[in-house]
Structure 1
């Protein structure tokens, strides 16, 4: 299976880059992983709601341009469904068994995802009602995908 992360913005912090690299290496034995970063828009201090919507739309267009036809899209969204690690592993496993060859996980920018991206999503996944930095969410998501594959293969990692 191919797992793609489409994310907004670049990772500047070295410690996050190192963590991402570690999970890329670990995941390489279970799936083909691709991480696509699209440019983020600068949000001026005190931006109006209308301007924030425009920014989300621009970022959303960039995200949608990276999603291939037929891919299963899971958007990370606070209003999405919360799963535990076993449930996520079951979801990934069931998608693979049902013939899905690519899962695209989408992580928006600091303002979240546009309505167009949310409408394109086949599934909305929430990690918490709390807000996390979108750069850190990449590490958290990759760790959970790795944990899912360890669960699927019956390997000792998940506790």
Structure 2
């Protein structure tokens, strides 16, 4: 199974870049992973819904046919770390070729992206920046894989 992240925006802060690079490297020990960064839509006086729609179209263009898609959205389902491990394990056993995780931009995801998703996942009921969401996602994916392998990272 391959993991893909489709993210709107770049990681602008050094500590977020360093953390994402660290966890991305750790994840590569378990599964192949790639990250696609899409440019954020910016337009003076544009409505957030308009920006979401434009970003959404570009996001959906990057989702491969047949991929199982997980969109990160505050209105999604919440998981424990063990639940994330279970989800990953299920897809590994089922032979899912690619899991694609989508993180929208500053205004969130369009309805079209949420509708395309096979699962909508909320990392937290708190509002997170899309940059912080990426780091948290990578850490939880790593944690989930260490849980599956009974490695000591999770401490339970």
TM-score range, shorter chain: over 0.9
Find the counterpart in structure 2 of residue 81 from structure 1: 77
Instruction: Give the CA deviation at 1:10.
Output: 1.0
Kindly report structure 1 stretches of 4+ aligned residues shifted beyond 2 Å: none
- Structure 2 residue 38 is matched with structure 1 residue 38: yes
Alignment map for 1:127-142 (pairs within 5 Å): 127-142=123-138
- String of CA shifts for 1:30-57, please: whole Å, max 9, x gaps: 000101001111254xx56xx2111101
- Structure 2 residue 22 is matched with structure 1 residue 22: yes
Find the counterpart in structure 2 of residue 97 from structure 1: 93
Specify whether residues 110 and 43 from structure 1 end up closer, same or farther in structure 2 by C-alpha distance, changes over 3 A only: farther
- Tell me if structure 2 keeps the 8 A contact 1:43–1:52: no
- Structure 2 residue 55 is matched with structure 1 residue 55: no
Paired residues in the alignment total 155
- Unaligned 5+ segments in structure 1 are none
Instruction: Give the CA deviation at 1:141.
Output: 0.3
- Unaligned 5+ segments in structure 2 are none
Distance 1:8 1:157 in 2: 29
SS in 2 for 1:157: helix
Q: TM-score, normalised by structure 2?
A: 0.96
